[in-house]
Structure 1
Amino acid sequence: MIGVEWAQSANGVIGRDGALPWHLPEDLKHFRELTSGATVIMGRRTWESLPPRFRPLPGRRNLVLSRTPQEGVETFPDLPQALAAVSGDVWVMGGAAVYRAALPFADRIVVTEIRELFDGDTYAPDVGRPPDSVGDWQESSTGLHYRFLTWDRGQRPG
């Protein structure tokens, strides 16, 4: 299974200045549960944005897409080569260009939708309308409102 996962604000923002513009602990917990034991693929800038104490992400095989080898992690020049090196479940975790490249391969898309608006410089790819079954809005311990959306192959365009 190839999945892509991200969190986005109501206006489609997924990042600002190389970081998440919000703090949503429930999304981080959801991400850990979703990707635990799987392979995660990310672009170089996403890798560099991770706090050093979390590099590589524990409990997962970490692959980074970069034209230059990255210290301390398996590096591949492009997404098809990285995917060819993986057996088992894989989750693509950013950034925006990597998401766009991965969507044609994805069996599942999981989006944490945040009801609030945020300013940013990086936007989620358009995956069409929400799936038929949409969870209720939940309130984060930080006061933000969020819900998890999941598209499985066949529920979305493309």
Structure 2
Amino acid sequence: MITIVVAMGKNREIGADNQLLWHLPKDLKHFKELTSGHPIIMGRKTYESIGKPLPNRTNIVISRKNDWFEEGILIVGSIKEALKFAKKIDENVFIIGGGNIYEQTIDLADKLEVTLVDAELRADTFFPIIDEKKWLKTDEIAHLKDEKNQFDFSFQTFEKILEK
């Protein structure tokens, strides 16, 4: 099972200047619960924005640069290579960004775990359009903003509609 995990705003915005657009502790906790114990695949820029390997996960970073090394991560040259390594580790694989990686993997994914943030912010990176002919929303849990979470948001699960 390949699952894409993303937090995006109303206009599919996911980042600006290689940074997230919001700080939502409930979303970070949800992300950790979903991905802990499983391989996660990300692009180099996403890894650099995080700044360190995420604990209790196999961190696989896709990079065309082959002249760098980071302790605690596996660096590969392609999505195909990343998926090959990840599936040897666990049948549940999580794609965590960024925009280019999402674009390349959305058709390969079985499930989307989307945090939809009730905000419209300036961004330079966006999530691909979720085609309602290919994806069915199977779950949604709404959360209101509070003293720690600056925006209303909802956790949404989409499952790929199998072609007949």
TM-score normalised by the chain length of structure 1: 0.89
Alpha-carbon separation, structure 2, partners of 1:132 and 1:47: 30
CA distance in 2, matches of 1:26, 1:7: 12
3-state SS of the aligned residue for 1:64?
Answer: strand
CA shift at 1:138, angstroms? 2.8
- Deviation of 1:85 (Å): 1.3
Match of 1:71 in 2: 69
Residue 57 of structure 2 corresponds to which residue in structure 1?
60
Q: How far apart are 1:128 and its partner, in Å? A: 2.9
Do structure 1's residue 153 and structure 2's residue 150 form an aligned pair?
A: no
Deviations 1:38-91 (A, max 9, x none): 00000010011113xxx1110000000012234122111110111011232110
What residue identity is the alignment partner of 1:71?
Answer: F
Give, in whole Å, the separation in 1 of the partners of 2:13 and 2:49: 16
Q: Percent identity?
A: 34
The residue number in structure 2 matching 1:18 is 18
Which of 105, 109, 125 is matched with 1:122 structurally?
125
* 2:3–2:112 CA contact under 8 A, matched in 1: yes
Cα-Cα RMSD: 1.8
User: Aligned partner of 1:57: which letter?
Assistant: L
Match of 1:29 in 2: 29
Between 130-139 and 20-29, report the one with greater CA deviation: 130-139
> Contact 2:22–2:150 at 8 Å: present in 1 too?
no
- Which stretch of structure 1 is more off in the superposition, 25-34 or 128-137? 128-137
- Matched pairs, number: 153
| Runs of 4 or more above 4 Å deviation | none
